Structure 1
Amino acid sequence: MLHRVEGIVLRSMDYGEGNAIITLCTENAGKIGVLVRGAKKAKSRHSALIQPFTLGQYVFFRGNSGLGTLNAGEIIVSHHGLREDLTKAAYASYACELLDRVLHEEESGPFWFRQLSACLTALDEDKEPDIILNVYEMKILQAAGYGPELENCVLCGAQEKDEDVRISAGLGGMLCRRCRHNDPAAPAVSPKALKLLRLFAKLDLTRLGSVDVKKETRDELKAIMRSFMDVQLGLKLKSRNFLDQLDKYGV
């Protein structure tokens, strides 16, 4: 059966001599694998279609299961700038690898497709990458069923003054003063960071504008979101390790 889909290349791997297999996040067909014959050969008309982060229209033949085989394709947005910049490429790779690991094969994903597309576009437009990823991670957590409770105490439901709040990744959200003993290691969170976390929880990434956040607050948000991602999803990602190396050396 012939299929026509819009998709974003999550990853590409060599297959045989001159061929490639790409994994696409599509708007209406979930996550799928497509074999692109001859894509790695010189002067291949399909070589640009297999590049990471590329948004394109892909026409492929596929039976009832297994890989599809590309018949034709057309680039919609190449995101060439993301691949040419080391830092942008690192952030974009993390976004793609994270979605690749969370999204199951053929899981229907209009929401995932829109969020990833918005994430890559925002990175391409030079918006603050750490904030982009924080919002993206929040959407991933929510869609996977692990969105943190940020309005009331996650254990007793009580409201608490922002300056008295603790954030527990293990328990899944805010702790009030009476419940913080359930996770003594839960860190405090500044009112500014808490306000932004609440905004991230409500904001669709497709509507993200320019956000100016001080480095101190960005670092706090990064630490909080990292703890939620590590505890709730527990994924070991190569791209995350590379981002950590960039941070370590101040790139």
Structure 2
Amino acid sequence: MPAIDRIRKVTAIVIAHAEYGEADRFVRIFTLENGKLNTLAKGVRKIQSRKAAHLEPFTHSALVLARGQSFWIITQAETLNAFTGIHDDLKKTTDAAYVLELVDKIAGENHPEPGLYRLLLDTLKRIEAASDTFNALHYFEFRFLDTAGFRPELTNCVACKKPIQPEDQYFSVLQGGILCPQCGQMEARSIFAAKDTLRYLRHFQRSAYPEVETINVPENTRMEMQKIMNVYIAAVMEGQLKTPGFQRQIEGVRGRRKYNDIK
């Protein structure tokens, strides 16, 4: 095997890891150069290991990989961005885990996807920097859906194809978009979408990040947006995701704290 095929230098974001044997770890990474890779970090759980800190989830690292019999072996690792602001905040940790879970579901192994890689890296930076991660997460969700080929239709009714008017509507998970009031009432599982909710959904779908970064979405609109996006993304990913449940628990705790502070 030529040397060029036995050694790879990659920049990677760590998606997850799992213990293997007494001292090793399997590490799943998403690389700029080769897409998703399943790798093995030998001896990384030993106290004296210098690689462990570079291979934590969310970490952006420069890695050297050597071809093993079954897996790429991580021989060198250097942190480019540890995202400590994410690790030190439970809410940001669950939000980042949600983003990684989605990317993990669609990223192909040994298939470079530089656009998705840059979106993931940019989103982690935005989550770390934000005092409120709502806008960063929903901007990511729309770009993610575009990449995965599930862009929701928000301009015309997905049933009758008529242009949507500025009034309360419904969202069809089954048909992947907005239903007008007449068609929405005929689909039992459609989700109510207030006029303002649709307006914000469209804004997040159409706009560049600087245009949504600082907008203040009202609380009731946030709740409707989250419901629609969570149900739709779970449907197109063909199964309930793990992380949204943790996100709701953290939001619930924060909400109770705010209420107690007011009393």
Q: TM-score, normalised by structure 1?
A: 0.90
**1:70 equivalent in structure 2:** 74
Taking the aligned partners of 2:119 and 2:111, their CA distance within structure 1 comes to 15
Q: Give CA deviations for 1:27-82 in whole Å, capped at 9, x if unaligned.
A: 1211001211121111311111111100011110126x842111212211110221
Which structure ranks higher in relative contact order (CA pairs < 8 Å, sequence separation ≥ 6)? Answer: 1
Write out aligned runs for 1:82-101 (5 A).
82-101=86-105
Taking the aligned partners of 1:128 and 1:59, their CA distance within structure 2 comes to 35
**2:261 equivalent in structure 1:** none
**2:7 equivalent in structure 1:** 2
CA contact (8 A) 2:127 2:133 kept: yes
CA contact (8 A) 1:170 1:232 kept: no
Write out aligned runs for 1:105-116 (5 A).
105-116=109-120
Write out aligned runs for 1:16-165 (5 A).
16-62=21-67, 66-165=70-169
Taking the aligned partners of 2:54 and 2:210, their CA distance within structure 1 comes to 24
**CA 1:124/1:66 → structure 2, altered by over 3 Å: closer, same or farther?**
same
**CA 1:115/1:205 → structure 2, altered by over 3 Å: closer, same or farther?**
farther
Deviation of residue 207 (structure 1)? 7.7
Larger radius of gyration: 2
Number of residues of Structure 1 aligned to a counterpart in Structure 2: 250
Deviation of residue 246 (structure 1)? 2.0
Q: In structure 2, the residue corresponding to 1:21 is in which secondary structure?
A: strand
CA contact (8 A) 2:230 2:244 kept: no
Deviation of residue 241 (structure 1)? 2.2
Q: Structure 1: give runs of 5+ residues left out of the alignment.
A: none
1:167 partnered with 2:171 = yes
Supply the RMSD in Å over aligned alpha carbons. Answer: 2.2
CA contact (8 A) 2:197 2:225 kept: yes
Identity %: 28
Letter in 1 for 2:153: E
**CA 1:66/1:143 → structure 2, altered by over 3 Å: closer, same or farther?**
farther
Q: TM-score, normalised by structure 2?
A: 0.86
Taking the aligned partners of 2:216 and 2:166, their CA distance within structure 1 comes to 21
CA contact (8 A) 2:204 2:212 kept: no
CA contact (8 A) 1:21 1:35 kept: yes
